[in-house]
Amino acid sequence: MVLEEKTRSDWNEPVYVQVSRRAPDTIHNPTEALNFLANAWKGSRKKHSFAREICAAAALGQVSPETAREAFVEAASEARMVIRAPHTEARS
């Protein structure tokens, strides 16, 4: 079993998202969210662009990682991709 070291930019709780019938992806931080938004996103893009901007800003240290997590969860929820996002209340 490999344990990954938590970094300062890691979220307190990961977000689990699923695209189509693939296995769920586990997203731990703004950089992983940005990669997912750029390469694996399917579905609604209403909140997608905002989430990309916020995750990019968080990766640069301009906003908090938790702010980026909220934006990512809201976008994924709108696109009906969130499986589980502990300790987050996504607004519709």
Looking at residue 56, its pLDDT comes to 97
Sign of CA dihedral 69, 26, 47, 80: negative
Q: Assess if residue 9 is contained within a domain.
A: no
In a domain, 13, yes or no: no
Say if residues 28 and 59 touch (Cβ distance below 8 Å): no
- pTM of the full structure: 0.82
The rounded distance, in Å, linking the Cα atoms of 20 and 1 is 28
Describe the crossing of helices 65-78 and 48-59 by its angle, rounded to 10 degrees. 160
Query: Over 60: is that where the pLDDT of 92 sits?
Result: no
Number of domains in the chain: 1
| Domain, as residue range, for 66 | 29-84
Tens of pLDDT, residues 27-74: 999 999 999 999 999 888 899 999 999 999 999 999 999 999 999 999
Identify whether 56 is part of a domain.
Answer: yes
Domain assignment of residue 76, yes or no:
yes
